[in-house]
Chain A
Amino acid sequence: MAVETMRLEAAVGAPRRLRTFGRIRRNKLVVFGGTLVTLLVLAAIFAPVLAPFSPYEQHNVDQLLPPGGKYLLGTDEFGRDILSRVLYGARISIQVAAISVSIGLIVGGVLGLVASYFGGVWDLVIMRLADILFAFPAILLAIAILALLGPSLANVMIAIGIIFIPIFTRVVRAAGLVISHEQYVEASRASGASHVRIMLRHMLPNALPPILVQTTLAISYAILSEAALSFLGLGAQPPEPSWGTMLNTGRGFMSFAPWTGIVPGAAIFLAVLGFNVLGDGLRDILDPRLKV
């Protein structure tokens, strides 16, 4: 059995994977979006090496200096280096995106798999609960959750994660409904495989393409939402170098130090653009029916 599987993979699987990889490499959207995303991730990982100063270090004689010289992107009202703060801000964005999307993906994924696999009452209850969460405007739900939990970065991750739960539930359920009627699932069931094994070994891997596309788009939404909630004062609190908090405080100095608002906003824009373009490219390759 194992040998046969290996042969089959050698004959069909590997070249198909290579073809997909080739298509991914040739897709200009994926290359452009992937480059932006890679730069963002590298900035986040190597922030301590790349940043010329500590993001919290105040230089009292260098307040609100324009970009150039010692401070490539200028300084803020406390004389802190904006470049260093933006680089460390990438860490916050990536961290929030990773954790909130994981919450949505894991909880929503399990609920979607259970709803599509078991159907009946399970499907009815799970999907009605998803409908209730889906009925709220996303930002309003996040604000209500933050009113309950209190403003902090950790709570922003939870709030955004909860917003993602019904989205991933729907995506995984839709894919799972198709897969659960496939012959290989029937065969696995007939051979006595457990429910968990069928869901994790057969249904989940085959539902991956739409999940992957949704994950990329969710990351861009998470970065945008974190910035928005911090901008409203409900997320990261000063002096945390969150891009949203920086933009909010920078607004007060826009008339004479516009870089304090332009730079963090541009960082949010480029990060969101990167993930949006990458998501679009992946969708074209993995789910061409949804091509826009």
Chain B
Amino acid sequence: MSSTRHQDSVAEEAGLLGQIATGDQSAFEQLYRKYSGPLFSLGLRMLENEKEAEEVLQDTFVKLWNKADSYDARKSRPFTWSVTIMRRTCIDRLRKNNRRPVATTLEEARASQWAVAETVRKTTERNDDVDRVNAAMQAIPPHQKRALELALFSGMTHTEIAENLKQPLGTVKTWLRRGLFQLSSSLTEHAK
């Protein structure tokens, strides 16, 4: 999960999207192997329902297949682009079901049934990286961390986040900026 590993894979994943745009199913399968776990986990985090998370994951990959030719490497990294599609599809599902966006904390999510069910192999591989990210997140002031969690995983708009946190919109934007910059800075320091 290190930044270096990310950088190495970004070009490869952008290349896969380019191949998918030409109808290359082998490239699509490779991208699925890389992204399906994290995206499915994101779906579980947002929807808290395994069946719905699987359906949304399928919708997301069909969109990735159809929209691969619109991916623009100058605008976003491939995984970020895919996460955006997954998050929007999750949000659509939440709205369609008239469900309120999920607003649990990361700690609650990590203590949930999904965390317990994580495979031993994956956990072993990831422990160091997860510890690093958790430590970086813990270093962020609680109110900024909460705003970031809601922005990332709840499906709320920033206006809804402001209402949820009972803060002016401008304050929430400031918290998001400061929290995100501190998270980025901490992770960069850890990676050195």
Q: Do A and B bind each other?
A: no
